[in-house]
Structure 1
Amino acid sequence: MSFMVSRSLMIQLSLAVVLITSSVLTGFGLYRYQKNLQKLPDLLEQRLELKAKRLSISLRTPIFNYAEYETRDIILSEMEDPNIVALVVSLNDGHSSRYIYTRSASNQPVQVKNFTPQKEERQITRKILYETNELGEVTICMTPKFFRYQLQQNFVSDLFQIGVLDVILISLVILFLRLRFVLPVKQLTAVSSEISKGRLDQNIDVKSRDEIGVLAHSFIIMRDAIKKQIVDLNNEIDERIKAEGELKHLRNYLKNIVDSMPSILVGVDAHGKITQWNMEAEKITGVASRDANGKNLHDVFPQLSYAMEKVIQSVHNRQIRKDSKVPLQLGRNKRLSDITIYPLVTNGVEGAVIRVDDITERVRIEEMIVQSEKMLSVGGLAAGMAHEINNPLAGILQNVQVMGNRMKIGLPKNQQVAEECGTTMASIEQYAEKRGLLSMVAMIMEAGQRAAKIVENMLSFSRKGQGNFEQKQLTELIERTIELAGSDYDLKKKYDFRQIHIVREYEKSLPEIYCEQTKIQQVFLNLFKNAAQAMVNDKNDSGKPCLIIRARRQEGMVCVEVEDNGVGMDEETRKRIFEPFFTTKEVGAGTGLGLSISYFIVTEDHGGEMSVESFPGEGTTFRICLPIRNDH
C-alpha cells in the first residue's frame, strides 16, 4: 500500500514537471522551426547568390584558357551539393556552347541538352568576367527541400534534447520527492499497516513541522484513540460472537427439526415468494433450497399454485386452513395429501407455512382395516344366509325338476294318471308346450341353478379353504391365466380379450411362493375380466387397450400389479370395490362377488395384501402381494 501511495505521488508530480517543461520547450522549438521555415526563401536566395558568385570566379580562368576538362570538373564538384538540382554554363565563344548538368533518377549529376526548373525551385544567373571580358554566364537552380529537411532534423534534435532534459528533471524530482515526502509517507503507511493488524505499539518518528509532521501527529492521536476503541470493541465482539453462536446453533437446530419432518414444509410471503424450503420438499420436487428460495411458488411447485388464494385468506382471517385427501402429482405418482396452511402475522411479517402430508398409505391402511372388518362381519352373515337359502332352494329345484318330468311323455305313471283323467300325455305335453309351461319350468330351473351358484360362492367366501398348497412360480400362473382368459367364452364374446395389448414387466429370478394354484388363478382371472370390461367401456379411448402386468420381489413378498388404461373409477367406487354384491355392471351381468372373493383368497387364505389405485379417466391398478414363505 505504501509503495502504491509513494509511486502515485512521485508519478503525479514528475508528470506535472515533465508536462510543463516539455510543453514550454516544445513550444519554443515549434516557434523556432516556424520562424526558420519563414526565413527559408531568404536563406535560399543568399545561398544561391553565394554559390553563383563563387562559381563565376572559379570558372573564369579555365574558360579563358579553354580548359574544358577542368571546367567540367569544377561543375561536377559543385553538383555534389544536394541542394543544387541543375547547373548551366553558357559561353560567349561564338559557338553558343553550353554545359547543362542536372540530376538523374539516382540523384547523380548527368549532362543534358535542356532543363526546365520545377515549382518551388529557385535559380540565379551571374556573368563570368575575366578582367573586362565577359566570357559567359552561369545559372544555378536549387531546391528548398533539403533545407527544409535540415530544419526538421534540427527540430527532432531539439526534441531529443528536451527528452534528455525531461529525464534529468524527473530524476531530480523523484529524488526530491523521495527524500522529502515519500520516505515519511512510507513510514506513516507502514505504521498504519501495523496498526491495522492490531499492533498499536508502533513508534512514529517524523519530526518535521510541515504538513507531513501534522499528519504524523494526527496518526499518534488516532493510534491512542484506536487503542481505547479496540478494548471496548473486543468486549462487544466477544458478546456478539457468543450471541451469534447461540443464534446459529438455534437456527441449525430449528432447521434440522424442519428438515427431519416427513412432511413437505414450504414458507411463502404475502406475494407468493418462497422463504422456506425443507429437505422433504427438495426430495419430492428435485429442486434445491438455494434454487427455490426467492422464486414464485407457482414456478417451483405448480401443484400448490392454487393454494395461494387460500394463503391470502388464511393470513387475512388469521385462521388455519386444511384440505384433506387432495390428489397431488408428487414425483411420478399421484398421491393423496392433507394440505394445511398456517398463517404468519407476527412481527410485521405476513405470509404462511404450507404443510403437505402424504396420506396415501394411511388411507390405504384405513380402507384395508375397514374392508377387513367388513369381510369378517359379512363372512359370518354370508355363511348363515347361504345355509338358510340352500334348503328351500334345494326343495324348489327338486320340485321344479319333478314338475318338468311329469309334463313329458316317457314315465308310465304319467300316462296312467292322464288316462284316468280322460286325456293323454301327448295332449298334456302339447298343451304345456303351446302355453310355454315347459320353457317356464326351464327358466325357473336355470334361475335356481344360478341362485345355487351364488350361494356356493357365498359359502366359499365365508370359509377358509383347505386346498392343496404348493410351491409355484407366480409368473407361470399369470401366463396360464392369460391363456385361460383368451379362450374364455364370455371374454371372447363380450370383450375380445385377445385384442388387448399385454405388456409384461417381470423381475428376473423371482422366487416361488407357497399358494393354492386354482384360487390364485381365480383371482387373476377376475382381475383380467374387470380390466377387459373397463377398457371396452372407455368411450373416450384414444389408443389401443393395454394391460400392463408387473411382478417383482419386495420385502419378503412377490408383488403383482395389473394396470389397465380404462375408464378408471372415482373415490367412492374405489372404497367399495371389495364389498360383497357391489358391482358397477349392468343388472344380470355380475354378482358383485368376484373382487370380494379375490380379496378373501389373497388376504385370508394366503395371508397377503390386495389394494387398488384409480382415478377417473386414468385407468386402474390392482396390487397383490403374496408372501414367499406362507406360515398363514
Structure 2
Amino acid sequence: MRLRTRIIIAVVIACSIINLFICFYFTKKIRDFELESLFSRIEKSTYIMKLVNARPLYNVDKEALRVNVETFFDDENMKSISLQEHNIDIDIKLERQFGVPKGIEINKSFYISYKGLKLGKMDVVYSTSLIEQKLLNFRNQMLFFTFSIIAFLVIVLIVLVNRLMQPVTQLSKVASEIASGNLERDIEQSGAGEVGELSRNFAVMRDAVKDKINDLATINQNLEKQIFLKEINEKKIIGQSNVIKSVNHFFQKSMMAQTYEGIARIFIPIALEVIPSQYCFIGEVKKDNKDFMDVLAISDQALKDCKIARIDREKFMEDGVTIRGIASRIIHQDKTIIANDPASHPDFIQFPANHIPINTFLGTPMRLGPEIKGIVAFAGKKGGYDLDDKQACKILTIALVEALSLKKKEDEKAKLEQIMVQSEKMVSIGSLAAGMAHEINNPLAGILQNAQVIQNRLKNKLPANVSVAEDLGLELDDIRAYMGKRDIFKMIDSVLDAGQRAAAIVKNMLSFSRKSTSGFIPEDISRLLDKTLELAENDYSLKKKFDFKKIKIIKEYDPRIPKIPCKASEIQQVFLNIISNGTQAMVSWKETKEPCFKLKISCDKRMVTIEIKDNGPGMKEDIQKRIFEPFFTTKSVGNGTGLGLAVSYFIVTENHKGSIEVHSRPLKGTNFIIKLPVEESLVF
C-alpha cells in the first residue's frame, strides 16, 4: 500500500472514530440532561396536582377536577392520568399512545389530602418516547453533517497529497532505476525547494558513483594489463582486484541497510576479509563537538575484548570516545598512519590502562570533500601492515564514506516526508478541533448560564424568589432545606464544575486555530526558562504535594545567547508543559533514584536551541510518533486531556515558526529539543 493511501486511510479512520465518539457522547449527555429535566418536572407537577385538586375534590366539583386533569394532560410526555374516588363516584382517566421508539415509563401514584382527610388517588404515567425520538433525529442529523464534512476534507486531502507527493514519487522511481544499475538515467533538476535540492544532490551523487565506478573499472583494466606485463606484481594485482570486488560487494549490500550504523556494521566483515585484522573500528566526529566522535561500529572481537578489559561497552557505544592521541593525528592532520610497533609510538602513550591490546595499527581519515567525517582503524594484523594494506584501506574508506553519505541523504529525505505528513495531519486535526470547539461553545454557555440561574433562584433569598414562593404558599427556607437534603445544590455545583472544565478544554481546542504574531518582543530565553522553573515549583508543590526542590537541575546556558522575538507567556506555557510532564514521569517511576532535569541552551546564526532532558522512564517509538497529537495521553482518566503538548507544538511551529522534536528510549529518559528563530523576519 502506498504512503499517500495509508495517510488518507489513517486520516479518514481517525476522523470517523472521533466523529462517532463525539456524536454518541453528546447524544448520551443530552439524553441524561433531558431525563433529569423530565424527572424534575414530574416532581413539580405531582406537587402542584396535590395542591390544585385538593379543594375541588373536597367540594366534589367534578367539572373543576376534569378541567384540572385535562390541563395537566397537556404535557406531551404524559402517557396517562387518572383520578379516582369511589365513595363519591369520581373516575376521571385520560390516556394517549406513543409511537416508536418506545421509551421508559415513569409511574407516579399518590393520594390527595385536604385538612387531614384522604380524599382520592391519582395515577400518572410519563413516557420518554418523545425524548428518545428527538435524540434519534438529532444523532442522525449530526452524523450526516459531520460525515459530509469528512468526505469533503478527504477530497481536499487527496488533491493536496497527490500534488505534494508527485515530485517525490518521480524521484523515487529514478532512485529505483539507479539502484538497479541504470546510472545513465536522467534526473530532473529544475525543481524548487527541498525536493529540487535533493534531486540536484542526487544527480551529483550519481555522477560521483559513476565516476568512482569508472575509476575502479579503469584501475581494474590497468591491473589486468599489468598481470600480463609483470608477473612479479601478480600478488599485488590480485590484492587490488579483491579490494575492487569487495567495494562492489559492499555497495550492493549497503543499499539494503536499514540504518546509518547498519552500513558501518556491513562494512567491517567485508573490510576484514581484505585486510585481515583482529580489530576494526569506525568512528564519526560529532557535529556539535569536534573533540568527540560517535562509535558507528566495531568488530565482534573488539566487543569481546572490551568485556575482558572491563570496559562498559554499552556506555562506550552510547557516549562515544574522546578524540586524542593517534586518532587526533589522523583526523585533525588528515593523515593515514601505519604503526607496526605502537609501544614506541608517541601517540599511543595516552591510551588508558585498560585499553584493549594493540600490537599493530592502521588508520585512515574518512574524507567527504574538504571535510573530515571520522576515522576507520584496523589493529592486530599478524606481521604488520604494508603499503598495499594502506591503499586498500583508503579505497574501502572512500566506498564507506560514499555509502554513508548516500544513506544520510536518504534519511533526510525520509525525515522531510515524515515532517510533511505530520504537518498535514496536525493542520487537519487542528481545523477539526477548532470547528468542534466553536460548535460546543454555544450550548455549553447555555448550560453554565442556566445552571447559575437555577442556583441563584433556589439558593439565594432574593426578593423575587421570596415573592414567588409566598404567592404559591411555600416557604423558601423549606424549599432550600429540601434541596440541601436531596443534594440538589451539590448536583448543580457538579454541573457548573463540569461545564467549567469543558470550557477550559474548548479554550485549548480553540488555540489550534489561532496563529497570531501580535505581542512579539525580544526576550531573554534563559530568563524565561528560569522563571518557568519557579512556576513549576509552585504549581507542582500545590497540586501534587511534591517538593520540586528535590529535583536536580543542571543548566548549560551559552552566555552569548541573543534575545529572540517571541511571546513570553506562550513560550513559558511550552516550557511548563514539558517540565510538568517530565516531573510527573520521573516521580511516578520507581526506578528514578535522583530525578534530574538537564537544561541546555545554545545558538547558531539562525536558530536558538533549547533542550529539556529528564532521566525518567522514557517512551516507546509508537508513543513518540503520537506525542503531539491532540487528545492523546498516556495518563489515567481525569489526570490529563492530551492537549498540553499539542498546544505546545502549535505555539512553536505555527506561532513562532520554529520546530519541536522529542528523542526518547525506554528506560533512558526523554529529551525535548525546541528551536526558535533568532531574526524577527523569520517569525513574521
> TM-score w.r.t. structure 2 length?
0.45
> TM-score w.r.t. structure 1 length?
0.49
Structure showing greater radius of gyration is 1
